[in-house]
Structure 1
Amino acid sequence: MLSVKLPRLMEIHEVPKDFWEESIISGYRSPRSSITDCILSLFQLNNETLNIWTHFLAAWYFLWRLLVFTQTNDIWRDSYTWPAMAFMVTCCGYPLASSFAHTFNTMSVFTRHICFFIDYAALSLYSLGSGIAYSAYVFPDKWVNSLLHHVYVPCSVCNSLITVTLACWSRLTEPQSPRLSKAVRILAFTYPYLYDSIPLLYRMFLCSGKGCTYNQAVPSHCVHLLLAAVTVTLFTLHLPERLAPGRFDYVGHSHQLFHLSSVLATITQLEAILMDMQLRRGHKATLGRIPPSVASSWGALAMGIFLNLIVIIAFSLHMLTFLQSPCGINCYKNRVKQS
């Protein structure tokens, strides 16, 4: 009979520090895995298995929602649907990029960096997609066609560039300053989220009187904000594995919980945006708004993708040059010895 030999799993002391995860002791894959090893590891319980599958399955769910949306709306002639579609494309992209990164990041140090550069870019584009949708459907009536409304999407494009640049740069500082690296990465993804949420937070907590657009979508927005806060907390504190190192190596560590909470947050965000989209179509207070255009939806997303690609290529070339230099080789060898 044909038998398949699954890759051997390793303890933390058997892999270089570049591959260490905080408070995770066992279940590591070889840092020199082949493509076949990486694919086989999808069907082997290791400390990355659930990280991969939680986002891979989520990507298919969001793709299904996107296909249903295209079949139930006149997407070719109705420009009002374009921001929602742009957002849904980014919802498909970030979990797919994340599952790809977690699957293949153990092939080499260089591959590990490239995988997570792509992951960071997908997250920054998801933030941009949120901004595009919020501009079209979530802005309070009082702010429609204001100066902030006009510059909101262009600033979201700039934020996407800042996010991916900071996140990729944080990987360069990780060997020397892991705490600084983590802080920069948290800032890189928190800042654009807070910016995107300005109209939503104002509409929900500060706006009073007419023009505040309180409707049935608000409870879903509240749940989304709560889940987003849980997601950031899990990513920052590394709970519960920090309380019991080695006990949650395979199931239940913070990155798995972080993946689940992020997916649930995106699902509730999507529901809230689609609800606002339906409820506010033709709303008398927003009839005077500038309608969504190719430039404000697909154009903004395309610009974000282009800028993110430039950043990924630039950091990848820098990382390749560094790892091939005597300094990079010696640094890596020292880190292997220290592990």
Structure 2
Amino acid sequence: MLSLMKLPRVVTINQVPKVFHEHSIISGYRYHHSSATDCILSLFQLTNETINIWTHFLPTWYFLWKLVSVVLIQAAWQHPFTWPLVVLIISSCIYPLASSCAHTFNSMSARVRHMCFYLDYGAISLYSLGTAISYSAYVFPDKWVNRFFHQCFVPVALLNAIGCTGLACYSRLGLPFRHHNQDVLKRFPKCQSPRFSKVLRLVAFAYPYLFDHIPLFYRLFLCEGEGCTDNDANVLHYTHIALAFLTGFLFATHLPERLAPGSFDFIGNSHQLFHVFGILGTRFQMMAVEQDMVLRRPWLLDHSRPITFANSLGVTLLCLMVNLSILLLFSLPLLSAKVGQQKKHKRQIKAH
């Protein structure tokens, strides 16, 4: 079937606008005015986005299978104690799906590219909240349970997630409307200051991660004596943390492609490795949280505050709605500019 269809055009870095450029990636770019059909067809040809797409699209189905198994086997709807695990798995399904969609369709235009990655950022911040909710329910060391930090942990994580979405979106094109002009390729600060943009995004995602993991870092590296919750899940937590820091390192350094620009355009560049290690980290995180939930269930039911809809599924829905509002706010100038240019083009046609 594919052999009967013309595969999308693949070009070099000099043939796409600067907004599409990736650090040290020279070739394999898709044409920057690809149609949606071209974007889907590009899944089956080797471009510099193909591995990025599949390394997140396939794990999405695995996490969905995990979600179904938890809901059916553990009967999650029957007992609120399992709801934080469900939240973590749902958010772990959403962020790779959003990422694979962003990498699939971002070559349609500069505006679509920005909106695609806005969606990606919102999904990542939702995942950070899912992490915080599950950690609050199952991972906090015994001696911190029901203390002040435990009580305010999820509300602060909610604010962090919302701030993460706003700051990450700001890093691409600045404030909506204020920094807007008709040529989105010249908007602040993505093209004029890509390093500043990168630092902003790194901060936007690193800070929520570090905050969410304060109780786990304390439990694994600082806590001594009774109440430190030393169980079999700790090995999985160590593995997850190691993979998470490796993921952050790859995102920040652009290794190995920066050492040999053009040599890793299609396979083996930092963003592809970032995807692979990020997914592996999520998988080990999920295993660790689930094991903590099982091993600590009797003690937590007796000593920790009860899990309710409000502090699990409810706060997740609130974050989802606020994030969608932020994404809409940042996307409106792009949509309005497109409509304005279409009207201008029609007037020019009529004038001729």
Query: Into which bin does the TM-score normalised by the smaller protein fall?
Result: over 0.9
What's the TM-score once normalised by structure 1's chain length? 0.93
- The equivalent of 1:314 in structure 2 is 329
- Is residue 290 of structure 1 aligned with residue 291 of structure 2? no
Q: CA deviation at 1:208?
A: 1.0
C-alpha distance after superposition, 1:113-152 (max 9, x if no partner): 1100000000000000000000000001111111111111
Q: Distance in 1 between matches of 2:265 and 2:305?
A: 51
- The one-letter code matched in structure 2 to 1:93 is I
Q: CA deviation at 1:325?
A: 7.9
- Is residue 151 of structure 1 aligned with residue 158 of structure 2? no
Q: Distance in 1 between matches of 2:38 and 2:17?
A: 18
- The equivalent of 1:129 in structure 2 is 130
- The equivalent of 2:25 in structure 1 is 24
Matches within 5 A, 1:231-242: 231-242=247-258
Match of 2:231 among 193, 196, 215: 215
Q: CA deviation at 1:322?
A: 6.0
- The equivalent of 2:77 in structure 1 is 76
Q: CA deviation at 1:321?
A: 4.7
- The one-letter code matched in structure 1 to 2:101 is F
Q: Distance in 2 between matches of 1:325 and 1:241?
A: 39
Q: CA deviation at 1:76?
A: 2.0
- The equivalent of 1:169 in structure 2 is 170
TM-aligned CA distance change 1:296 to 1:167, over 3 Å: same
Q: CA deviation at 1:306?
A: 0.8
- Is residue 300 of structure 1 aligned with residue 335 of structure 2? no
TM-aligned CA distance change 1:58 to 1:202, over 3 Å: same
Q: Structure 1 residues 71-80 or 108-117, which shifts more?
A: 71-80
CA contact (8 A) 1:127 1:160 kept: yes
- The one-letter code matched in structure 2 to 1:71 is L
C-alpha distance after superposition, 1:213-257 (max 9, x if no partner): 010000100010000000001011101110111111001111100
C-alpha distance after superposition, 1:39-96 (max 9, x if no partner): 0000010000000000000100111111111121121221100000011000000000
Q: CA deviation at 1:320?
A: 3.8
- The equivalent of 2:208 in structure 1 is 192
Q: CA deviation at 1:156?
A: 1.0
Q: CA RMSD in A?
A: 1.6
RCO comparison, higher one (Cα < 8 Å, 6+): 1
Q: Distance in 2 between matches of 1:193 and 1:135?
A: 14
Q: CA deviation at 1:177?
A: 1.0
CA contact (8 A) 1:18 1:175 kept: yes
- The equivalent of 2:271 in structure 1 is 255
CA contact (8 A) 2:88 2:134 kept: yes
Partner secondary structure for residue 259 of structure 2: coil
Q: Distance in 1 between matches of 2:5 and 2:339?
A: 35
CA contact (8 A) 2:7 2:38 kept: yes
- The one-letter code matched in structure 2 to 1:34 is S
- The one-letter code matched in structure 1 to 2:70 is F
CA contact (8 A) 1:144 1:286 kept: no
Q: Distance in 2 between matches of 1:277 and 1:224?
A: 16
Q: Distance in 2 between matches of 1:253 and 1:170?
A: 23
What's the TM-score once normalised by structure 2's chain length? 0.90
Q: Distance in 2 between matches of 1:178 and 1:323?
A: 24
CA contact (8 A) 2:55 2:272 kept: yes
- Is residue 229 of structure 1 aligned with residue 245 of structure 2? yes
Runs of 4+ in 1 over 2 A off after TM superposition: 318-326
Q: Distance in 1 between matches of 2:232 and 2:333?
A: 49
Q: Distance in 1 between matches of 2:5 and 2:281?
A: 38
- The one-letter code matched in structure 2 to 1:7 is P
C-alpha distance after superposition, 1:155-176 (max 9, x if no partner): 1111110000000000012112
- The equivalent of 1:53 in structure 2 is 54
Q: Any stretches of 5+ residues in structure 1 without a counterpart?
A: 330-339
Alignment: residue pair count:
326
- The one-letter code matched in structure 2 to 1:274 is E
- The equivalent of 1:332 in structure 2 is none
Q: CA deviation at 1:324?
A: 7.4
C-alpha distance after superposition, 1:250-301 (max 9, x if no partner): 0111110000000000000000000000000012x76121111100110110
